[in-house]
Chain A
Amino acid sequence: MNDRHFGATGIVKRFGPVVALDDVYFSCERGEIHALLGENGAGKSTLIKILAGAQQPDAGTLRFGDEAVKLHNPQDAVARSVAVVHQDYHVWPDLTVAENIIGTLRRPPQAGGLVRGRAMRRAAHELLERLGIEIGVDRYLRELDAAEKKFIEIARALAVDASFLILDEPTASLESRESDRLLALLERLRDADHGIILVTHRLEEVVRVADRATILRDGKNVGLLRRDGMSGDALVEAILGRTPEEPVEPRACGDVPALAFREVRTRPGAPAFDLELRKGEILGLTGVVGSGAAHLVRVLAGLVPLDGRLTIDGAPVVLKTPADAVRRGIGYIPEDRKGAGLALEQSVANNIALASLHRISKNGFTDTRKRSALAEGYRASLGIKCASIDAPVGSLSGGNQQKVLIARWLASGATVIAIEEPTHGVDIGAKAEIHRQLAAFAEAGGSVIFMSTELRELLAIAHRIVVFHAGAPEAILPHHEASESRITAIATGIVKATEAA
């Protein structure tokens, strides 16, 4: 059987009206590291799920060599010696290394119904040794660091003799030294004739280890680069694939700080840094997954503790809970607005009034007329499209839901709005309206700090763009110095900020 190649041709996948993959081809050979690249939403995840048997394509064929196959579920893929290492950790903290690697396999060594503990531990030990991983097989996974857990996952995938290994953002949550160890392991696996499919946002890793790179954009193949033609610039250009739009200069803001971070670390071991958010400023934070870009927004939301100091209007502040944050005038809008932001069954009016109930209540009773007036006001000023302010907020479109959340914090008198991915899942019209509202809020003296992975959005509204890499800001770009290619190059580690200047 010719099993040197594993790939797909003519893959089409639709989700409702959205075409996630449109006639996509992909092929990985044994003995190569093949990178799969693209922006968020380009279709990488969908393609991986199809290759791993977790989703079925609407059209197209998966092939092993010349043989067309169907993978109905992940087990089929495993039977075909395709293994997946997922981005989030799929290991068991309360099982030992040996149990994680060997014990959870389909057929671990056993005798008379009992696991042969020694054989299991020996098998795990031999496998780890073969991979050059030095981790004791009796340790519990909860004792291991992030890279070691990743190694265990890879070992686990290889315990079933996988010829092809798909890794989804394996270095996303690793420090650079840990990443180095992981990449070295991948190179050893390639040399041992495994086919490695590597999905990553860190292009410097691609340049370092990949033999070929398939690039997707908007669900289509837009490039296949080989080792000899692979450079950071070529990758960035292929991924973005468009001439960057000329950004519009946002209204200037002063330099009075609204809040200031001092000696902050986004995680232990990352470099400490200072950062100010000015009055009237829209500050954009960006970076690839695991870069630490989202951290400060979550700190301001009172969700995660701050390693460092924070002052608001010059006074030191500790935000222990979301309630603390609200009291300090910080309104937080999560990326998962449905799960964490809105009470979906509740009315538009109630959702808007949620953070300002004390203003429209007397003796614990809400004045419904005041609440309606408040809601109607914002409905008009923000252009919230809804049947009525008594309609459940779940019945609104994504963009209008986002406006409801913005209205909530405007109503509460917040001076700072902290947002994650302000326009994820929002259509283009609502996107512009949300951007306009944030700009208006800033022009009125408020401050906005937002995390976004959408370059066009950053360039459209941010006064300054903070590009995170490996846990700390790599560059703070004033609006006029920022461009899509520059941000991408810095965020993916292709260039250091100093070189880019």
Chain B
Amino acid sequence: MITRARSRSEWIDVGFVPVILLVLVVTLALLSKYFFTARNLTEVLLQAAILGIVSVGTTFVIVGGDLDLSIGANVALSGVVCGMAMSATNNNIPIGILAGLGCGVLIGLINGLISTRLRVPAFVATLGMLVIGQGVALTLTNGASIANLPDAFGALANGNVLGLPALIWWMFLTFFAGYLVLHRTVFGIRTFAVGGNREAARLAGIRVDAVRVANFVISGLTGGIGGVLLAARVQAAQPTGGEIFTLYATAAVILGGTSLYGGRGSIFRTLLGVALIALLQNGLELLGVPYSNQQVAVGIVFIIAASSEFIRHR
């Protein structure tokens, strides 16, 4: 078997994000002695958790050559549906969870069908769904959050498992499941094939539309999981506040080095991208930068990340 030396561009491709992460960690450690405490690092993981979960789904869609901008509304609406179902059934937690996940899957399915059957570009279809989802979430709740969800439900996210909040374990579990499906199954290979060259995939007998719909459903499911866990974490379902995930999830995927044009990328890269965003936010917080300015920073990093794709693939 031939082992080839990696070319310079390949080194940049592989090493880009880890190096930036390393620089960021060292900088933060130097600037704040509070950074390397167990408490702060747990906080970072907690902040990253929901983003990490939805980013896994977003990775599937992007590797498959599509986009899912509806994920923010999906998180909000799934949380609301979960909370309402729970309230309506006298705090029946399983029903609430299933309703939330079902809502996420349904949104993904609709995204997929609109994109494939109506041949609407995913960008447009899911952008429309983002606005629709936000509107529905506000309508269902009259703009108020559904509070006082049961403690047992809250434990789903906040319970202690092996010294860490359960929410963090859910994130790692989602990443692991995402890794298995994207990198170890036939479906995963097909997702790469469809994203890399749709026409070639079609001619190879791959049912391109089925693969694309499935990826939207996976993305929808992770949105549902994110929504349910977000509601569990604060024991309340809020109709607003999910929007930010739309940008951050896509940002994390691209930041990690998954190609926006499909066919190239990995779950591990997304993990790095999520870590980068979470550390950046944490660092800015530690340095006392107000939230509004943090957003500016993340937006700038997002654009740099997208442009770095050209640097990497030159």
A residues in contact (CB < 8 Å) with B: 54, 74-75, 78, 84, 86, 89-95, 99, 103-104, 106, 108, 110, 113-115, 117, 136, 138-139, 143, 156
Contacts and interface: CB of A to CB of B under 8 A. Distances in A.
A115 B200 contact: no
B205 A75 contact: yes
Contacts of B160: none
B161 interface: no
Interface of B: 1-2, 4, 180, 184-186, 188-190, 192-193, 196-197, 199-206, 263-264
A54 B205 CA distance: 12
Q: Is the interface of B mostly helix, strand, loop or mixed?
A: helix
Q: Is the interface of A mostly helix, strand, loop or mixed?
A: loop
A114 B263 contact: no
Given A86-B203, A95-B189, A103-B189, A143 B4 contact: yes
25 contacts: A75-B205, A90-B197, A90-B204, A91-B200, A92-B197, A92-B263, A93-B263, A94-B192, A95-B189, A95-B193, A99-B192, A103-B186, A103-B189, A104-B201, A104-B204, A108-B186, A108-B189, A114-B180, A114-B184, A114-B185, A115-B188, A115-B189, A136-B1, A138-B1, A139-B2
Contacts of B190: 104
B205 A78 contact: yes
Given A92-B193, A108-B186, A115-B184, A74 B203 contact: yes
A496 B82 CA distance: 77
B260 to A, nearest CB: 14
Contacts of A54: 203
A63 B201 CA distance: 27
A75 B206 CA distance: 9
Contacts of A138: 1
A108 B186 CA distance: 7
A350 to B, nearest CB: 28
A183 B14 CA distance: 38
B203 A94 contact: no
A44 B208 CA distance: 28
Given A75-B205, A139-B2, 4 more contacts: A78-B205, A91-B200, A104-B201, A108-B189
B193 to A, nearest CB: 5
Contact of A93 (B4, B196, B199): B196
B205 A115 contact: no
Contacts of B189: 95, 99, 103-104, 108, 115
B163 to A, nearest CB: 31
B2 A136 contact: yes
B192 A95 contact: yes
Nearest to A73: B205
A136 B4 CA distance: 11
A90 B185 contact: no
Contacts of B4: 139, 143
Contact of A92 (B2, B186, B192): B192
A103 B188 CA distance: 10
A63 B193 CA distance: 32
A156 B197 CA distance: 15
Contacts of A91: 197, 200
B200 A92 contact: yes
Contacts of B201: 104
Contacts of A89: 200
